[in-house]
Amino acid sequence: MVAIFDGSTQERNAFVRYLGILYFGSPGDIPFSRYINRAYRDFSRTLRGFAKLPGHDEVFSQATLKLSDAIKALAKKKSWTQQSFDACHDAICQDLMNIFPNNLLHYGQAQKWLNMTLKYVFTALATGILEEEERRLIEGIESCYQYAHLPIDNIVLEALKKQGGPAIKRRWSKIDVSQYREFQADLRARYVECPLDMDFLLWKGDGAELTRKTKQ
């Protein structure tokens, strides 16, 4: 591969890796930790009281390790159905909630953390930002992309509302597992695109619309 600018010795891969560092930060000792940390910042404002919690750092470290191990475990399973992925997704969310004391982490927050982490990992994999060692650890994870879930937050809910999509009657950060499952099932019943593709379209900001399924 040759440099992409006259007078430069840098190849395209170097610029791509630098872009990844600018957005996600430098790779840490725990695989995928920079994507996990970025996903945490996407919902942490709703996690009231955690910053002052005794043992905060240890709890966060345990949760980071749990998500890192979960990503690697998802890659090891090469064959998925929607039911099997949903069960695995729920187990990871429950494990995350159990790490936090006093019911501090709600299901709505756990889903956002997990779903955004997966979204970032898939994006990094698709764009070439993912580190080589991380890529090796999750070889084959592409098989679960079509079954992955749409991260729920206010921006996504507002964008869906404009398209006549499903709604949630309470704050997304406080939804329980039954409300979450109903929402994700409703999405799949309404639209042709898989949920992570829906997320891409909803965030493009150029008026892109989801494709509704025709009634049988």
Chain segment 110-155, per-residue pLDDT in tens: 999 999 999 999 999 999 999 999 999 999 999 999 999 999 999 9
| pLDDT computed for residue 12 by the predictor | 82
**Confidence at 78, pLDDT banded by 50, 70, 90:** confident
Model confidence at 216: pLDDT above 60: no
Mean of per-residue pLDDT scores for the chain? 93
Q: Answer whether 67's CB lies under 8 Å from 97's CB.
A: no
List, for residues 13-37, the tens digit of each pLDDT value: 888 888 899 999 999 999 999 999 9
**Confidence at 10, pLDDT banded by 50, 70, 90:** confident
Measured in whole angstroms, the distance separating CA 216 from the mean position of its chain's CA atoms is 32
List the Cα angle 121/122/127 in 5-degree steps: 100
Q: Closest by alpha carbon to 45, among 180, 149, 173, 156?
A: 173
The residue with greater pLDDT, 45 or 4, is 45
